[in-house]
C-alpha cells in the first residue's frame, strides 16, 4: 500500500495501536498549547530521530514524572493514564530508585558467563509468584525480545514451526513479533514475514466475525481448535491474555484454547507484557482464567518503570535448549535492571497494589458505567482492575466508530491535565499507575466526563 498517498484521516487501519501523530486535531492542540520554546525542542527531536508512527514527531516534551503524574517542560501536570503500561508502582518510586542506586554502587553489570545474587533473586521471586510449574526464566532487555525467545523455544521444543495468533494483536515490533502480531501499522508493506503464521479472529464479541454478540458461544475459541486440528503441526498458540485496549475474553475462552493446545500438541504462550504485575487486579492476568500457559511473557513495569526489562517464564519441561542460544542478550542478567525488578515486586506486595488495582478498578468501572448511562457517545465500558477502556460509538445500533470524537475527547483531556491514548480509532484506553489515589482517580474521571460532554455538545449543535 502506498501510504504516502493517503491523508492522515484515511489511515484508519494504522490507528490500531494508538492515536496518530499527524492528525489535524494534533496540530490544533499543538497550536494552542505548545510554546515556541517547546516547539523548538520538538523540531530538534524530529530533526534527529527517524520519523515513525506513534512517536516522532512527538506530542510534547517532558520535564519530570512522579507517582501517577507526568509534567511537561512548561510545568503542566498530567495524570498519566498511558505510561506505556510501565507504571505499576508509579513513576520514580523511591524504593525502586534506592535499589537501583545501591546496585549501581556495588555491581553495575554482569559479564557473560557470570551470574549475580540480584539476578538470581529476581528469577526465584518470579517463579514463586508464577502459577503452575513456570519455573524457568530468561530475562531480556524488552518485551519484543522476550517474545522472540518464546517463539524460538516453542519451535525447538516441538520440532514444529507454525504459530496461531490473533488478528489485531500486538506482540512487539520486530520481524518475528509482527509476524504473529495482527496490526496493519506494523505489518503492512514490510514483508515477507515469518512463514507458518496463521491468524484467527480475536475474542472480541462486539466486532467478532462470528457475530455471536452478547450470546457468545466461544466460536472464536472453537475456531482455534479447528485450525489446530486441520494444521496438525502447530508449534504454539500465542495471544495476549487480555488485550490492553482492553478486550477481555469470556471466562472460558482460554480454558478451551488450553484444552485444544493439549489435544493437538501445541504450546500455549500468553503475552502479559503490559498486563501482568497487578494491572488487571491479579498478579498475572491468566489467574482470572484459571489456566497455566506453557510460557508466560512479561515486561514493561517489571523494570519499575525505569529500566527496560522483560522475562520469559517457561514450564520446567521446556528446559530443552541447553545447546542453543535462545536470547543471547548482552543485558541478559543485568543486575541493575534486576534490582529494579526485585524492588518493584516488593513494592507491589508491601503496598498491596494488586488489591488496590482491583478495588480502584471496580470503583472506576462503576463510575464509567454511570457515565455511559448519561453519554450516548459511550458505546461500551470495559475494565479489569486498572485496565480500563471506553469505546466511543457514533451509533450504538450500527457500531459506527466515533473516531473523530475520540480524538477530540483525548485532546480535550490533555488540555485539562489527563493523558491517555486512543486505540483502534475509538477506544479510550485508560491505564493509570496502580498507586493512584481515589481522589486522583476521581479527578481523572471527572475530566473524562466533562470532555465527553463537551464533544457531545458540539455534535448536537
Ligand X SMILES: Cc1ncc(COP(=O)(O)O)c(C=O)c1O
Binding residues for ligand X, rule: CB under 6 A, are: 142-144, 147, 170-172, 240, 244, 271, 273-274, 299-300, 310
Q: Provide the minimum distance between the beta carbon of 274 and ligand X in the complex, in angstroms, as a whole number.
A: 4
Phi, psi of 198 (to 5 degrees): -110, 135
- Closest distance of CB 129 from ligand X, Å: 19
Q: Are strands 310-314 and 234-240 parallel, antiparallel or unpaired?
A: unpaired
* Shorter beta-carbon distance to ligand X: residue 83 or 335: 83
Which lies closer to ligand X via its Cβ, residue 143 or residue 182?
A: 143
Q: Which residues lie below 8 Å from residue 158, measured CB to CB, with a gap of 6+? A: 235, 236, 265, 266, 267
Q: In whole angstroms, what separates CA 157 from the centre of its chain?
A: 27
Q: How far is the CB of 56 from ligand X (least distance, A)?
A: 16
Nearer to ligand X, 274 or 412 (CB): 274
Min CB(144)–ligand X separation in Å = 3
- Whether the Cβ atoms of residue 305 and residue 278 lie closer than 8 Å to each other: no
Output 69 or 170, the one with its CB closest to ligand X.
Answer: 170
Rank residues 270 and 444 by Cβ distance to ligand X and give the closer one: 270
**Minimum distance of ligand X from residue 6's CB (angstroms):** 25
Tell me whether residue 149 or residue 402 sits nearer to ligand X (CB atom). 149
Please say whether the beta carbons of 300 and 111 come within 8 A.
no
Which residues does residue 62 pair with via DSSP β-bridges, in sequence order?
72
* Distance linking the first and last C-alpha atoms of the chain: 38
Report the C-alpha gap between 387 and 244 in whole angstroms: 7
Residue in this structure with the C-alpha cell 501482568, named with its chain if needed: 276
- Compute the least distance from the CB of residue 143 to ligand X, in Å: 2
Q: What is the DSSP string of 257-283?
A: HHHHHHHHT-EEEEE-TTTTTTTTSSS
Secondary structure of residue 4 in the 3-state scheme: helix
Residue nearest to ligand X (CB): 143
* Dihedral sign from CA coordinates of 237, 238, 242, 245: negative
| Of residues 130 and 147, the one with the C-beta less far from ligand X | 147
Q: Report the distance separating Cα 391 and Cα 380, nearest Å.
A: 5
The answer to whether the CB of 300 falls within 8 A of the CB of 143 is yes
> Among residues 67 and 274, whose Cβ is nearest to ligand X?
274
Q: Name the burial class of residue 95, with classes exposed (0-12), middle (13-18) and buried (19+) by CB atoms within 10 angstroms of its CB.
A: middle
CB of 439 to ligand X, least distance (A): 29
Nearer to ligand X, 240 or 407 (CB): 240
User: Considering the complex, what minimum distance in angstroms separates the CB of residue 431 from ligand X?
Assistant: 11
CA distance 202 to 206: 11
Q: Name the minimum Å distance from CB 243 to ligand X.
A: 8
Q: Where are the alpha helices (DSSP H) in 168-252?
A: 175-180, 184-187, 219-231
CB 71 within 8 A of CB 64: yes
Q: Which is nearer to ligand X, 271 or 405 (CB)?
A: 271
CB 188 within 8 A of CB 169: no
Which one, 309 or 452, has the nearer CB to ligand X? 309
Q: Give phi and psi for 387, each to the nearest 5.
A: -110, 105
Provide the minimum distance between the beta carbon of 377 and ligand X in the complex, in angstroms, as a whole number.
Answer: 26
Q: How far is the CB of 421 from ligand X (least distance, A)?
A: 11
Provide the minimum distance between the beta carbon of 322 and ligand X in the complex, in angstroms, as a whole number: 26
Residues 6+ apart with CB under 8 A from 349: none
User: How far is 115 from 107, CA to CA, in rounded Å?
Assistant: 11
Residue closer to ligand X, measured from CB, 142 or 412: 142
* Residues 99 and 342: beta-carbon distance below 8 Å: yes
Amino acid at each position: 500500500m502506498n501510504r504516502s498517498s493517503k491523508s492522515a484521516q484515511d489511515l484508519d487501519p494504522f490507528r490500531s495501536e494508538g492515536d496518530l501523530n499527524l492528525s489535524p486535531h494534533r496540530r490544533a492542540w499543538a497550536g494552542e498549547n505548545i510554546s515556541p520554546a517547546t516547539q523548538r525542542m520538538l523540531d530538534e527531536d524530529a530533526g534527529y530521530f527517524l520519523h515513525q508512527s506513534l512517536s516522532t514527531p512527538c506530542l510534547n516534551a517532558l520535564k519530570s514524572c512522579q507517582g501517577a503524574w507526568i509534567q511537561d517542560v512548561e510545568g503542566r501536570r498530567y495524570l498519566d493514564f498511558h505510561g506505556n503500561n510501565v507504571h505499576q508502582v508509579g513513576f520514580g518510586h523511591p524504593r525502586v530508585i534506592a535499589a537501583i542506586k545501591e546496585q549501581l554502587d556495588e555491581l553495575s553489570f554482569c559479564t557473560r558467563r557470570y551470574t549475580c545474587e540480584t539476578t538470581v533473586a529476581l528469577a526465584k521471586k518470579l517463579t514463586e509468584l508464577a502459577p503452575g510449574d513456570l519455573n524457568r526464566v530468561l530475562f531480556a532487555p524488552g518485551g519484543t525480545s522476550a517474545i522472540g525467545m518464546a517463539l524460538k523455544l516453542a519451535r525447538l521444543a516441538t520440532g514444529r514451526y507454525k504459530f496461531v495468533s490473533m488478528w489485531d494483536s500486538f506482540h512487539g515490533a520486530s520481524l518475528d513479533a509482527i509476524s504473529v502480531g495482527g496490526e496493519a501499522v506494523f505489518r503492512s508493506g514490510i514483508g515477507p514475514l515469518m512463514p507458518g503464521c496463521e491468524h484467527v479472529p480475536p475474542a472480541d464479541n462486539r466486532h467478532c466475525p462470528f457475530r455471536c454478540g452478547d450470546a457468545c458461544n466461544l466460536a472464536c475459541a472453537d475456531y482455534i481448535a479447528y485450525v489446530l486440528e486441520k494444521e496438525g503441526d502447530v508449534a504454539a498458540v500465542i495471544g495476549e491474555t487480555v488485550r490492553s485496549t482492553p478486550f477481555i475474553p469470556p471466562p472460558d475462552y482460554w480454558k478451551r484454547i488450553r484444552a485444544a493446545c493439549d489435544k493437538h500438541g501445541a504450546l500455549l504462550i500468553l503475552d502479559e507484557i503490559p498486563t501482568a504485575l497487578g494491572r488487571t487486579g491479579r498478579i498475572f492476568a491468566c489467574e482470572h482464567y484459571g489456566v497455566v500457559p506453557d510460557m508466560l511473557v512479561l515486561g514493561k513495569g517489571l523494570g519499575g518503570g525505569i529500566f527496560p526489562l522483560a522475562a520469559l517464564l517457561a514450564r520446567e519441561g521446556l528446559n530443552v535448549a541447553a545447546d542453543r542460544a535462545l536470547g543471547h542478550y548482552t543485558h541478559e542478567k543485568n543486575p541493575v535492571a534486576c534490582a529494579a525488578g526485585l524492588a518493584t515486586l516488593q513494592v507491589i506486595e508491601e503496598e498491596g497494589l494488586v488489591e488496590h488495582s482491583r478495588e480502584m478498578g471496580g470503583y472506576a468501572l462503576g463510575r464509567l458505567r454511570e457515565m455511559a448511562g448519561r453519554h450516548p457517545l459511550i458505546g461500551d465500558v470495559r475494565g479489569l482492575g486498572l485496565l480500563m477502556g471506553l469505546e466511543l460509538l457514533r451509533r450504538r445500533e450500527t457500531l459506527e466508530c466515533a473516531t473523530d470524537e475520540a480524538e477530540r475527547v483525548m485532546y480535550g483531556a490533555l488540555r485539562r491535565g489527563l493523558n491517555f491514548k486512543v486505540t483502534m480509532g475509538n477506544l479510550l484506553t485508560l491505564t493509570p499507575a496502580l498507586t493512584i489515589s481515589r481522589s486522583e482517580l476521581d479527578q481523572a474521571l471527572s475530566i473524562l466526563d466533562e470532555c465527553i460532554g463537551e464533544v457531545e455538545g458540539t455534535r448536537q449543535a
